[in-house]
Amino acid sequence: MSSDGGIYEILDDRFRTGRCANGDTRLERLHQGCRWTEGPLYLPAWRQVVFSDIPNDRMLRWDEQTGAVGLFRSPAGHSNGNTLDREGRLVTCEQGNRRVTRTEHDGTVTVIADRFGGRRLNSPNDAVVGSDGSVWFSDPDFGITSDYEGHRAESEIGARNVYRVDPVTAEVRIAADGFRGPNGLVLSADGRRLYVSDTVANHIRVFGVREDGTLTDGEVFTEAAGDGSRFDNIRFDDEGRLWAAAMDGGVHCYAPDGTLIGRIRVPETVSNIAFGGPKNNVLFITATTSLYSLMLGVTGARRVHAPVG
């Protein structure tokens, strides 16, 4: 297949028949002027998107109803990825502070994880919350290799792992290791598979999730195309397609079998993506200096955050 000359590049007919290219025909730039944006997250209750401007050590928020962009938090611990837990509380990976935190409903901040085995984490990057309340997060060394996105330091752990925080005991344990640069991660809709992108190895791995929260041996789900693409964060739509922020390759869309079926062209280097909007059919894209949006013909996976009980 070939491109239609617009922002969509159709590589497999499933991208067309699945309505993946049936949305807006242009990107809308919502904000620009950042140094390096990541971590977009749609907050349904507030109809806002929070996102991180890592080198400037701040979090911003875009208001869906007014289009205004304002400061959410500064300093922000050189925050990167953001997600919501089952109670709608903000969970943030703070690269500079080398920790994962939760913002309570009253605005106070609780530390979820900052150490493993008594040693400081490297620089947590992205997080996802399971249906049981467990918090999974990646811990590469991107925030300690220089002062640009954090604070230059030596790794105390000496490895780049994915961790799981137990929802009952709050114990932090290694969920998976052997990564070169673990980055984005997402759980399948049924919670039985964990997908992890490795930016340095340039592939996405998938693991089976056992009842006790341990993982099976991972296997490669897909490898990045040789077009300047490097995987960052990843998200599912509600039909099981995996969407990936692919740096200079734009946004990639993969069928459940791992086939790259289409791309969205973006004029800047894509760092992160997130589904949002009232119908969950708007793709928010952070790319270099900007925040973009694109209303699609598909819908993001069901939001798992909801009041418990």
CA distances in angstroms from 64 to 42, 92, 239, listed in the order given: 10, 21, 26
| Dist CA 126 CA 105 (whole Å) | 21
Contact 277, 48 (CB under 8 A): no
| Dist CA 70 CA 289 (whole Å) | 15
CA distances in angstroms from 47 to 33, 50, 250, 265, listed in the order given: 22, 10, 25, 26
Measured between alpha carbons, how far apart are the two ends of the chain, in Å?
48
Please report, for the chain, how many H helices and E strands are present, in that order. 1, 27
The reply, when asked if residue 125 is annotated as ligand binding, is: yes
User: Cβ neighbours of residue 217 under 8 Å, at least 6 residues apart?
Assistant: 207
In 3D space, the residue among 99, 207, 85 whose CA is nearest the CA of residue 134 turns out to be: 85
The reply, when asked if residue 232 is annotated as ligand binding, is: yes
The reply, when asked if residue 56 is annotated as ligand binding, is: no
Specify whether 232 is catalytic. Answer: yes
Catalytic residue of the set 126, 139, 232, 237: 232
Contact 122, 157 (CB under 8 A): yes
Angle at 145 between CA 139 and CA 151, to 5 degrees: 90
The reply, when asked if residue 149 is annotated as ligand binding, is: yes
- As a three-state string, the secondary structure of 87-137 is CCCEEEEECCCCEEEEECCCCCEEEEECEECCEECCCCCCEEECCCCCEEE
| Dist CA 17 CA 37 (whole Å) | 32
Contact 59, 51 (CB under 8 A): yes
Catalogue the active-site residues.
Answer: 232
Binding residues: 38, 125, 149, 183, 232
Binding residues for substrate: 125, 149
Binding residues for a divalent metal cation: 38, 183, 232
